[in-house]
Structure 1
Amino acid sequence: MKNVLTLTLLMCAMVFSAEMAAQEFSGMDKSPMDMASYPSDYKISDKAVRVIYSRPQLKGRDVADLAPAGKVWRTGANEAAEITFYKGATIGGKNIEAGTYSLFTIPGENEWTIVLNKNLNQWGSYFYQDSGDVARVQAKVSKGDESLDAFSMTFQEVDGGVHLVMGWGTERVAVPITFVM
């Protein structure tokens, strides 16, 4: 009887293990999610700002085709990027309260319009409403030495604050941010 019980338990374990191993995964996202924060040191838990976004790849295409000039862009791929200010800040000269905002951009040849919007959890920019805008600021476009295939964001420390730097292809856009102490 003891052997029958042991055999039964063993067979049940094998059946459930096979079912778990047979689960299908949808594969890697072609535009994986990423995050940038300031300070970027993972040992510092007192962050001032964090941005979460997805990283589309150029794969031989033009930035202008994927983020057309003059049109609201979700600033990445998939869901609209979201930026969280953990303390009050000034971005491009406009005061921003601590909180989380959707981050949209309107690319241009010489400058991009940076848009902070209070409506969260938006897929792309398909349902973007300018009535939710909290701030719009201009940021100059410059050219980088290397071409980035994956859209990327980082924070770069500068005198008096940081720049949120966005890069794709050879385009670079730096958005000045200072924090309210």
Structure 2
Amino acid sequence: MNSRFRYLTFLIILFSAFQSNVFAQEAVTPRPSPAAIVTMKYDETYVKLTYSQPHKRGRDIFGGLVPYGHVWRTGANEATEITLTGDILMNGDTLKTGTYSIFTIPQKNQWTLIINAELGQWGAYNYNKEADVMRFDVPTQHIQGTVWEPFTITFEQKNDTADLMIMWDQTRVAIPIQFLKE
């Protein structure tokens, strides 16, 4: 009888642990701004960009939710990150192999794009200008009649060149990239 009691107790504990695990998984809700990854490759160089996609949801975006003239994480949640397995030219300047954070400073007619060496940042709250690897301005394009509901980053690749496209609401920014021959 004692062994039956131990066996029954074991089964109850095992069942309880299983049930707790199932309920814990059900309690997890998806992020309102889901993670997204875009990639491209040329020869031996691979580029991966990881970011989170906030949605417009009827809000005024640039100059409103994302104020002009302030450093922005370029998405939601964690700061956007780019990983390179080979050197590239970005806006004509060399960006070395590695992983970097991407920040921007949106303005109405141009954005400042910032490549920063500090990783794992939540938002731009602890942005450190001293860790900037490069910084340059790119013009904005206002797209009449087009509304990107989710914040979107993509690559438009043409062989050894590409544009890193950042799009949200009626604003688009194109950052020229060129792969370097090894």
TM class, shorter-length: 0.7 to 0.9
In the TM superposition, 1:98-137 aligns within 5 A as 98-137=97-136
* Structure 2: runs of 5+ lacking an equivalent: none
CA distance in 2: counterparts of 1:96 and 1:147, whole angstroms: 31
Over 3 Å counting, the alpha-carbon distance change for 1:159 and 1:18 in structure 2 is closer
CA distance in 2: counterparts of 1:22 and 1:48, whole angstroms: 39
Name the counterpart of 2:90: 91
Deviations 1:5-28 (A, max 9, x none): 664554333222222223263411
Q: CA deviation at 1:115?
A: 0.4
Aligned residues between the structures? 177
RMSD: 2.3
Aligned residue type for 2:117: K
2:46–2:85: 8 Å Cα contact kept in structure 1? yes
Q: CA deviation at 1:139?
A: 1.6
2:44–2:86: 8 Å Cα contact kept in structure 1? no
Name the counterpart of 2:31: 29
CA distance in 2: counterparts of 1:110 and 1:52, whole angstroms: 25
Q: CA deviation at 1:142?
A: 1.2
Name the counterpart of 2:155: 155
Q: CA deviation at 1:111?
A: 1.4
CA distance in 2: counterparts of 1:83 and 1:125, whole angstroms: 16
SS in structure 1 of the partner of residue 170 of structure 2: strand
In the TM superposition, 1:71-86 aligns within 5 A as 71-86=70-85
SS in structure 1 of the partner of residue 114 of structure 2: strand
CA distance in 1: counterparts of 2:44 and 2:78, whole angstroms: 26
2:45–2:179: 8 Å Cα contact kept in structure 1? no
Query: Is structure 2 residue 61 aligned with structure 1 residue 63?
Result: yes
* Structure 1: runs of 5+ lacking an equivalent: none
Q: CA deviation at 1:138?
A: 1.7
- 157-166 or 117-126, larger mean C-alpha shift: 157-166
1:37–1:47: 8 Å Cα contact kept in structure 2? no
Deviations 1:134-167 (A, max 9, x none): 1112222113352111111000013640011010
Q: CA deviation at 1:45?
A: 10
SS in structure 2 of the partner of residue 23 of structure 1: helix
Aligned residue type for 2:79: A
2:102–2:116: 8 Å Cα contact kept in structure 1? yes
CA distance in 2: counterparts of 1:54 and 1:141, whole angstroms: 21
1:53–1:81: 8 Å Cα contact kept in structure 2? yes
- Using the size of structure 2 for normalisation, the TM-score is 0.87
1:110–1:140: 8 Å Cα contact kept in structure 2? yes
Aligned residue type for 1:166: I
Over 3 Å counting, the alpha-carbon distance change for 1:163 and 1:180 in structure 2 is same
